[in-house]
């Protein structure tokens, strides 16, 4: 059965939410800019979907290496770290930002 987690960082700081191998999971986040991120794993393949307020976005395959989830289509080496109730974004130059949810997506 697929677990659905709605992460609202202001409410569950400190939650350990790593995606483990073989685990089916979906982590849905809405940031301060209204951008929705959905990190998913079907137990074998990892994905993320991004949806901007204007309706643009897409679905991308992630390649897991250790605790990092690399965007396989990125020209800049972007990767994501999902840990302790936060998603951090990096590229080949280093840290970009943490995605923090501003509101619950259940609203």
pLDDT at 70: 94
Per DSSP, the residues of the chain read --EEEE--TTTSTT------TT-EEEEEEE-TTS-EEEEEEESS-EEEEEE-TTS-EEEEEEEEETTEEEETT-SS--EEEEETTEEEEEETTEEEEEE--SS-TT-
Q: Over the stretch 11-69, which tens digit does the pLDDT of each residue have?
A: 222 333 455 556 677 788 888 888 898 888 887 889 989 999 999 999 999 998 888 89
**Structure pTM?**
0.64
Q: Tell me the domains of the chain and their CATH numbers.
A: 3-99 (2.40.128)
């Amino acid at each position: 059965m697929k677990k659905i987690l709605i992460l609202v960082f202001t409410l569950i700081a400190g939650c350990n939410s790593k995606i483990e191998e073989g685990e089916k999971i979906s982590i849905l986040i809405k940031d301060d800019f209204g951008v929705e991120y959905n990190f998913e794993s079907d137990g074998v393949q990892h994905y993320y979907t991004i949806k901007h307020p204007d309706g643009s976005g897409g679905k991308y395959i992630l390649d897991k290496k250790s605790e990092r989830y690399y965007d396989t289509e990125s020209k800049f080496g972007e990767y994501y770290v999902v840990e302790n109730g936060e998603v951090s974004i990096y590229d080949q130059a280093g840290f970009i930002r943490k995605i923090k949810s501003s509101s619950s997506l259940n609203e």
